[in-house]
Structure 1
């Protein structure tokens, strides 16, 4: 049987997907080339490419975002500068600075270095915000309006209110009893929050009496954590802000402009409507209303509210952190604690110590003040860089030119451990270093409250609280760590909060 060959013409097969695949490879290739070019540029051609630092930090801000959320930036930046030197590249266009000569240029009076847009997530839509305002002209005008409210001369109007809260705190310690282990870190924050309420509104929040904050501290902590990393990519905050009416609020930083602000708003409204009056007391809110009335309404009701809300949000945390530090380091150093007790007893014998201790008496106690400086040197409240933008003319730091638009910042934890200023024993708690004849450089580079024109406006109030609380507590109680060899836990989300100040205390005879 003959098999005839198939004489039909062979039709070549056709894969319809081939042109599509070919078409898709073009943008993929372009994207890959663009990414490669970006990496090569930012690593080798960027004006700050010669500055050393972690590889991933040089090509993406995600490195900084992750570090901001982890909660260890205060310690990690010390290690980075130990490894890389005075300048460390921490983002494609951002540099961490540990050069002392540059600090005064960046933060000094009359500086042209504006705050970076990291602060924009803190400010949101508020028009009056001394902490987050980036325009130096606006900030200067706003600060001049309220400077006197926070001045040393105003403290005498607040002192009696602080005394009443100090006394309330001491009563709480007595009620807890000598057999109880006390979380002194928690109680210091309850105290600091109630003081802010008393100073600002002539009424506490009742946290000391109730022994709890009702969730307020966690809300503030969530807001701090959120702002720490969102501030590294501020565009995300503003996209979220634009979409909030549709998707709702999903960033905890909005609490600074939400619930915390509402607490202050209730008090401001009550005062405006005459429902609540401080009587003879001259609290901070009354002083803000005075400014508003005397300055031709340069402060609106919203501006007054913003200042009051800022006190509530920031005033409690920073003071509580500092109080924990002083107590912790004193209890870790028996010799220093003994010296401070001797100073307290000496003042008592001379009839120069009230109970509660008055501010002018505390200011006249050199060793107490040295202990406070030293504890805040070792543990400043802020543990992240204070970012600023280099002006258009650029700047030379440590022999390296940084062009205009580069973000630079100094970390207080790094500055406070510079041996050229504070000595070789920078990790030691040694208050005596502040009693030396020459402490000018140490105070010049003391960054616990920021520096220059942006020095924390609430510094005097915080210092007063600490100056009164510490000697009064030591005068009334014998106190020791429940576990002397245990270390506390530090978490840095802008503020470096501590956990683990567990103590035993009993009233002194």
Structure 2
């Protein structure tokens, strides 16, 4: 039977349906646009046109790695509320921060976090059930407390000394300080978690670990915007293989950590590291803290613990070298305290805490460059919520971007783009600390912030005591990519010995 004969047999109604199908699709598309732009509950919230119609807008910017700068520009243009998706709003209203992230909040983490969690049952960062998160956090909070830092500090000292020795070998040469502080931070995590540095500083190389972590971050940043794609990929992986970097968090990076746990158990340890504390909890509560949960906590240390500290340390060094007057003032504080016998070598955490200009420098660098450059997304609870005078219905995804809130003139002054540590040294700086978002906010604040702060507090004054540093190309700006964490490149320096 030829094609003409087949077409003759088709009923006329079918031809009519085929003829009107394009018109129907066009009408549906126009209707969707009209609804999103004029009748949707978020229609009155300003923002980019395409963001109101599709999640492709936010997915593209997450892929491109420019979300931190993009959101600063959008809030400057539109104000406290910016519509960043068909059902998502970025918020810069200060009053909303406590509502969204404060103690007892009913706002829950959005589905964006599901790709970070995967199939893990114990994972503090992405856990969306507040009850489960609270139970899990109570199991490990002592391990990361300020009291625990006193036990870890001598082993951070060892890593600082190794770092300084390697810098001594590289005097009068151009050193990629951004890379070296990440090697340092990774080795510290190995020391405090497994009682053994990973050896990255000794090898002057990371063995591909940093690329795996960066790949996981980039992958999670964009696919978290459309988590259904992650779960489709997850279901098809046995047939199509793995094509997403985020799976490294659940796969190769976890395998690396499991091997380190086994090696640590074989060799033992003469001091209380993080693994020993987790194992002690496991012994007390074997059901709640089983072997898989111990591995999950250790993997989180490895993945997040090095990057956040390295990013923050890079920022401190970079801004000091870009602002010589600030570097001079910090060096004067270090030299004065050394001459008075008030600083050890390496500097102790208690000593660093008593250095007002050092503390101001650290806060200011992390204000200008917080490690996280994307919104911390939550969903509005049943009954919705009113933010900056706008009602947002239940299920709306809302969030605050640390890069935006850290540039609030109401809190930090008109010179928000300037590196001015002195702003932290005034008596009325309570709001600056209250809205300091570098480690998150509220009940979900970063668990490892104390360890990170200790590393920076010890390394920075010790480094500037021993070495004078200058940027090798002081006229050049560093480069950044925002894939959840805002990674920098271009902190290349020349070192000369001071002491």
TM-score for the superposition, normalised by structure 2: 0.97
Structure 2's unaligned 5+ residue stretches are: none
The Cα shift of 1:14 comes to 11
Indicate the residue corresponding to 1:463 in structure 2. 453
Matched, 1:329 2:319: yes
CA distance in 1, matches of 2:170, 2:364: 30
The Cα shift of 1:25 comes to 3.0
Mean Cα deviation higher: 330-339 or 56-65: 330-339
Q: 2:219 aligns with which of 195, 213, 226?
A: 226
Indicate the residue corresponding to 1:346 in structure 2. 336
Indicate the residue corresponding to 2:88 in structure 1. 94
CA distance in 2, matches of 1:337, 1:206: 30
Indicate the residue corresponding to 2:166 in structure 1. 172
The Cα shift of 1:156 comes to 1.1
Indicate the residue corresponding to 1:277 in structure 2. 268
Indicate the residue corresponding to 1:400 in structure 2. 390
Q: 1:212 aligns with which of 205, 219, 222?
A: 205
Indicate the residue corresponding to 2:153 in structure 1. 159
Q: 1:51 aligns with which of 36, 45, 50?
A: 45
The Cα shift of 1:269 comes to 2.9
CA deviation map 1:121-159 (0-9, x unaligned): 000000111100001111011111111100000001111
CA distance in 1, matches of 2:134, 2:85: 30
CA distance in 2, matches of 1:70, 1:298: 40
CA distance in 1, matches of 2:337, 2:422: 19
Written as runs of structure 1 = structure 2, the 5 A alignment for 1:289-300 is 289-300=279-290
Indicate the residue corresponding to 2:249 in structure 1. 256
Matched, 1:447 2:437: yes
CA distance in 1, matches of 2:15, 2:113: 46
Indicate the residue corresponding to 1:241 in structure 2. 234
Q: Secondary structure of 1:88's match?
A: strand
Matched, 1:78 2:72: yes
Q: Secondary structure of 2:267's match?
A: coil
Moved over 6 A (4+): none
Structure 1's unaligned 5+ residue stretches are: 1-12
The Cα shift of 1:33 comes to 2.6
Q: Secondary structure of 1:252's match?
A: coil
CA distance in 1, matches of 2:435, 2:150: 28
CA distance in 2, matches of 1:380, 1:120: 23
Indicate the residue corresponding to 1:182 in structure 2. 175
CA distance in 2, matches of 1:27, 1:281: 72
CA distance in 2, matches of 1:154, 1:193: 19
The Cα shift of 1:298 comes to 1.6
Matched, 1:315 2:308: no
Q: Secondary structure of 1:386's match?
A: coil
Structure whose alpha-carbon radius of gyration is higher: 1
CA distance in 2, matches of 1:156, 1:21: 80
CA deviation map 1:27-77 (0-9, x unaligned): 444333322222211111110100000100000000010010111110110
The 1:14/1:114 distance shift into structure 2, 3 A limit, reads closer
Indicate the residue corresponding to 1:488 in structure 2. 478
The Cα shift of 1:345 comes to 1.0
The Cα shift of 1:22 comes to 3.4
Indicate the residue corresponding to 1:196 in structure 2. 189
CA distance in 2, matches of 1:361, 1:398: 42
Q: 2:403 aligns with which of 392, 399, 413?
A: 413
Q: Secondary structure of 2:237's match?
A: helix
Indicate the residue corresponding to 1:6 in structure 2. none
The count of aligned residue pairs is 493
TM-score for the superposition, normalised by structure 1: 0.95
Mean Cα deviation higher: 287-296 or 379-388: 287-296
CA distance in 2, matches of 1:78, 1:472: 34
